[in-house]
């Protein structure tokens, strides 16, 4: 039987929680106040998809491994879908205006268009639009 999770929570370490909250609010994300305190916040990505932004010291309590310096190394690229090519550009532009950095130039593959940015902590975010009917 195939596993089908009901929700996805991605946990990311951040240096300054309040600055990260403000950054992602400027992009357009909302937060769940019931899961927000001085150590963490729950950012709502989509229906049943969340990112927990955890202060680095708190994040470290969940693992025995060293926390990666995401400004120098990459462990994951978070990819988000957008409703159109224009929405891809708008989301990335808002991220840059909020203090993020460009990660790559826009990529146009005809059936798929993407552009990516780094958040305040260097985590990589790719935003893409795929023509309807291409995948799932």
Gap between the Cα atoms of 118 and 78, Å rounded: 10
CB count within 10 Å of CB 45 equals: 17
Q: With beta carbons less than 8 A apart as the criterion, state whether 127 and 83 touch.
A: no
Quote helix, strand, coil % in the chain, to nearest 5: 25, 40, 40
Whether 134 shows a pLDDT value over 80: the answer reads no
CATH architecture, range 76-136: Roll (3.10)
136: pLDDT strictly greater than 80:
no
Give dist(CA 46, CA 60) in Å, integer: 26
CATH superfamily entry for domain 9-62:
2,3-Dihydroxybiphenyl 1,2-Dioxygenase, domain 1 (3.10.180.10)
Residue 114: pLDDT over 90: yes
**Mean pLDDT in residue range 13-41:** 97
Question: Residue 1 — pLDDT band, cuts 50, 70, 90?
Answer: confident
- State both tokens at 117: 């940015």
């Amino acid at each position: 039987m195939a596993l089908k999770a009901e929700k996805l929570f991605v946990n990311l370490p951040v240096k300054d929680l309040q600055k990260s909250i403000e950054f992602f609010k400027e992009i357009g994300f909302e937060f769940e106040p019931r899961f927000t305190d001085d150590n963490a916040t729950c950012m709502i990505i989509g229906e049943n998809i969340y990112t927990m932004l955890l202060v680095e010291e708190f994040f470290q309590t969940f693992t025995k491994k060293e926390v990666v310096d995401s400004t120098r190394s990459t462990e994951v690229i978070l990819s988000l879908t957008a409703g159109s090519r224009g929405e891809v550009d708008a989301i990335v532009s808002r991220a840059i205006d909020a203090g993020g950095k460009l990660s790559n130039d826009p990529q146009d593959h005809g059936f798929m268009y993407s552009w990516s940015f780094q958040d305040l902590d260097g985590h990589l975010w790719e935003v893409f639009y795929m023509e309807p009917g291409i995948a799932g």
